[in-house]
Chain A
Amino acid sequence: MLGPVLETLIGGLLTGVLYALVALGFVLIFKASGVFNFAQGAMVLFAALSVARLSEMMPLVVAVALSVVIMIVLAYAIEFLVLRRLVNQEGIILFMATLGIAYFLEGFGETVWGSNIYKINLGIPKEPMFFFESVFPGGLLIDREEVAAAVGCAVLVAALAIFFQVTRVGRALRAVADDHQAAQSVGIPLNTIWLIVWAVSGIVAIAAGMVWGSKLGVQFSISLVALKALPVLILGGLTSIPGAIVGGLIIGAGEKLAEVLLGPLLVRWFDLAGGGIENWFAYMLALVFLLFRPQGLFGERIIERI
């Protein structure tokens, strides 16, 4: 019994890392500009599509580099065409604008790159690995791609942490995240900062898109996977990078365990047509969690004044 449960747990944690990758992009933008960027999922899809299609024509490394350029251009376009014109609007208006961007990007990506299912080949062998064969009968089965994704994610987070803590731009970003007006008054250009965070979360989207793309194949459903990043986000707190990672792990592990352990029970008790509680469990977990801690695990304490 323990073996399969542990296997599910590890599988769930590794999936959680992938959720965290998507959530990271949300957090970066929300922190720096207060925009709840619903287009992150579409950006992941767009990035994955461009990597997949470009890597058909050139080596993977070049394709990724070119995709980075594309995402930076995209960030510039979004900043210049949309955000700049919506400065000082309420949060909900900006949120709706990103929904509009999401629709646009989904259509645009499929118009430019085509709408079939594409494959990204990261050059990682497909066959899973086995661990602890001496401890459990049959050992633990772990997907190599997911391990690679976890390592990649760790490297990315480390790089982001260094970027945020050490560099001059990173300091400016943190200043803007703390207080827009104060940052502006000491001479930090807001528009440039926004351009940078959108570009960085575009690059995070490339990483997420490559991993998801090699796992699921690059297709429309990737932008739906991004919806799963939302409970991760509110569980961890909208403004916290460690929160996104921890939230991702909790959600990933929680929903896989729930599917395996709770699913069959629910099916038996309520006479269901199949389980599939993965679809909502993450949201319910986050919802129940929020009842006790409204700002998420690591979110900033909400202080309200009149």
Chain B
Amino acid sequence: MFYREAGQFKTTYKADQAIFPIVQDRWFVIGVLAFAVLILPLFANQYLYTEVLIPVLILSLAAIGLNILTGYCGQLSLGTGGFMAVGAYAAYNLALRVPETNLIVVFLFGGVMAMLVGVLFGIPSLRIKGFYLAVATLASQFFLEWAFARVKWFTNYAPSGSVAVANLELFGIPIDTPMRKYLLVLFIVAVLALAAKNLIRGRLGRMWMATRDMDIAAEIIGIRPLHAKLSAFAVSSFYVGVAGAMWGFLRLGSWEPLAFDINRSFQILFMVIIGGLGSILGSFLGAAFIVLLPIFLNQVPGLLGIPLSTAMVSHLEFMIFGAMIVFFLIVEPHGLARLWAIAKEKLRLWPFPF
């Protein structure tokens, strides 16, 4: 009854090309943002910030990055963790060597460096595709992980191999409390997500989607595969790199290459698949699901009063996590975003089904 576009006439080209053409959608997005900025900080505690909100947002950004590559351009990648590491270490080195740099510039620099590395490792995609490409991207994952563990310059000759950042500040405001970190993350993620939403509606996004659906056909209608695939790798790695820099700076504070290992790549791939391939909203939903599920599973035995050893809990967590993934794929292979779309479709007709 409330979710209906009847009566909303588009009288200008501007209105026709709006990102959220339906008024209710627009209000929904504004509402969610307002809730995240104004209401959440009123009652959120440190645990909620550092274990839930910040990880969900940052990993959503990484998932958007991977979704651009895998969901929109159809290039399966298992190197996300490696590109996140590039972002984190590039940002660390800039902040270390040019300390007066603005924090936002530091993050963007991480993204740009990841972009360059991503394009380099994207070159094989011009020759190989599918699972061959997926395994080829593993090369970037293992190589980058190794490089950051072994090349001493990257870690500023730290004897332990782990690096740390401290005393972050932005425009003179110290970014020290979880709430400030959260707001900074929220701002960057919101801007970049909006940019991604815009990008995929445009020429670039259409090129990617044509390449995904059938690359030879796309080539025949005049899309250069080199252009389409490498730009997807570039944009995707940029997003992933920024996410990596923020993960290192705002979530971890101090980290070593292990924070960006192959399991991180899989985690983000899960987010994209569970959330929905080819959906920006799905990236957020998937990230929330994958971050919250282990937290939830951890709480259950305690809530039910079943005494279990920690080893047992972690094994059960693995089992249930795996089973949930399989279950989800069977029930809705197109992800949470599809469920959301179905719900919206139902809501449009409700309560008058005809």
- Across the interface, which residues of B come within 8 angstroms of A279, CB to CB? 142, 145-146
| Nearest CB in chain A: distance from B79 CB, A | 10
Instruction: Check A283/B318 contact, CB under 8 A, given A82-B330, A104-B326.
Output: no
Across-interface contacts of A197 in B (CB, < 8 A): none
A287-B269 in contact given A99-B325, A110-B315, A294-B132 (Cβ < 8 Å):
no
- A273 and B329 contacting across the interface, CB-CB below 8 Å: no
Question: Does A225 reach chain B (CB closer than 8 Å)?
Answer: no
Q: Confirm or deny: B139 has a beta carbon within 8 angstroms of a beta carbon on chain A.
A: yes
Say whether, besides A272-B150, A277-B146, A283 and B322 are in contact (CB < 8 Å): no
A61 adjacent to chain B (CB < 8 Å): no
Contact call A107/B317, Cβ cutoff below 8 A: yes
Could you say which residues of chain B place their CB within 8 Å of the CB of A96? 269-270, 273, 325, 329
B323 at the interface (CB under 8 A from A): yes
Chain B residue nearest to A230 (CB atoms) is: B135
Cα of A284 to Cα of B144 in the assembled complex, Å: 11
Give the residues in chain B near A120, CB-CB below 8 Å: none
Q: What mask results when residues 325 to 345 of chain B are scored 1 for a CB within 8 Å of chain A, else 0?
A: 110011001000000000000
- Selected from A104, A105, A290, the residue in CB contact (under 8 A) with B136 is A290
- Judged by a CB distance under 8 angstroms, whether A25 is at the interface is no
Q: Does B143 contact A (CB under 8 A)?
A: yes
Beyond A100-B326, A104-B326, whether A230 also contacts B138 by CB under 8 A is yes
Asked if A60 lies at the interface with its beta carbon under 8 angstroms from chain B, I say no
Q: Mostly helix, strand, loop or mixed at chain A's interface?
A: helix
Q: CA A108 – CA B321 in complex, angstroms?
A: 11
Docked-complex contact A284 and B139, CB < 8 angstroms: yes
B149 interface residue (CB < 8 Å to A):
yes
Q: A103-B318, A233-B135 are in contact. Are A273 and B220 (CB under 8 A)?
A: no
Pick from B131, B139, B311: contact of A238, CB below 8 A: B131
Asked whether, in the complex, the Cβ of B146 is within 8 Å of the Cβ of A280, the reply is yes
The secondary-structure label for the interface of chain B is: helix
Interface size class of A (residues with CB under 8 A): 35 or more
A230 — which chain B residues lie within 8 A by C-beta? 135, 138
Given A276-B150, A287-B139, A306-B217: A296 in contact with B132 (beta carbons within 8 A): yes
Whether a CB of chain B sits under 8 angstroms from the CB of A258 is: no
> Does B1 sit within 8 A of A, measured CB to CB?
no
- The reply to whether B333 and A283 contact each other, CB–CB distance below 8 Å, is no
Contacts of B30 in A (CB 8 A): none
Please tell me if B291 contacts chain A, counting CB pairs below 8 Å. no
Over the window 71-93 of chain A, the binary record of Cβ atoms lying under 8 Å from chain B Cβ atoms (1 yes, 0 no) is 00000000001100110011111
Complex CA gap A108/B326 in Å reads: 15
Stretch in B3-11, B108-116, B122-130, B193-201 touching the partner: B122-130
B318 partner, pick from A36, A93, A104, A275, beta carbons under 8 A: A104
B319 contacts chain A at the CB level, 8 A cutoff: yes
Q: Is A185 an interface residue (CB 8 A)?
A: no
B142 touches A273 (CB 8 A): no
The answer to whether A273 touches B149, judged by C-beta atoms less than 8 angstroms apart, is yes
In the complex, B226 has a CB within 8 A of chain A: no
Which residues of B from 299 to 322 have beta carbons under 8 Å from A?
311-312, 315-322
In the bound complex, do residue A115 and residue B150 qualify as a contact, i.e. CB atoms below 8 Å apart?
no
Complex Cα gap A100–B266 (Å): 10
Q: Which of B134, B142, B318 contacts A106 (CB 8 A)?
A: B318
B48 at interface (Cβ–Cβ under 8 A)? no
Across the interface, A283 reaches (CB within 8 A) one of B130, B139, B273, namely: B139
B259 interface contact, C-beta 8 A = no
CB of A100 within 8 A of CB of B322, answer yes
How far apart are the CA atoms of A291 and B262 in the complex, in Å? 23
Instruction: Please state if B330 and A276 are interface contacts (CB–CB under 8 Å).
Output: no
Nearest residue, chain A, Cβ from B70: A92
The yes or no answer to A304 lying at the interface (CB within 8 A) is yes
Known: A286-B136, A287-B136. A91 touches B131 (CB 8 A): yes
CA distance A295 to B152 in the complex (A): 37
A97 to B326, CA, bound (A): 5
Interface residues of A in 270-306 (CB under 8 A from B): 270-277, 279-280, 283-284, 286-287, 290-291, 294-296, 304, 306
Measured in the bound complex, the distance between the Cα atoms of B314 and A115 in whole Å is 11
Chain A contacts for B214, CB-based, 8 A: 306
Contact of A105 with B127 at beta-carbon distance under 8 Å, contacts A85-B330, A238-B132, A279-B145 already known: no
The answer to whether A111 and B315 touch across the interface, beta carbons within 8 angstroms, is yes
Is the Cβ of B76 less than 8 Å from the Cβ of A107? no
CB proximity of A203 to chain B, nearest CB, Å? 22
Contact A97 B149 (CB under 8 A): no
Q: In whole angstroms, how far apart are the Cα atoms of A304 and B145 in the complex?
A: 35
Given A100-B325, A100-B326, A276-B146, A283 contacting B319 (CB threshold 8 A) = no
A residues near B (Cβ < 8 Å) are 36, 81-82, 85-86, 89-93, 95-97, 99-108, 110-111, 115, 227, 230-231, 233-234, 238, 270-277, 279-280, 283-284, 286-287, 290-291, 294-296, 304, 306
Question: Assuming A283-B143, A306-B214, what are 12 further A-B pairs, CB within 8 angstroms?
Answer: A36-B131, A85-B330, A89-B329, A92-B70, A92-B273, A99-B325, A231-B138, A271-B152, A279-B146, A280-B142, A280-B146, A290-B136
Closest 5 CB pairs of A and B: A107-B318, A104-B322, A103-B322, A100-B325, A283-B139
Q: 11 A-B contacts, Cβ less than 8 Å apart?
A: A36-B134, A96-B329, A100-B325, A104-B326, A107-B319, A107-B320, A273-B149, A283-B138, A286-B135, A287-B124, A306-B220
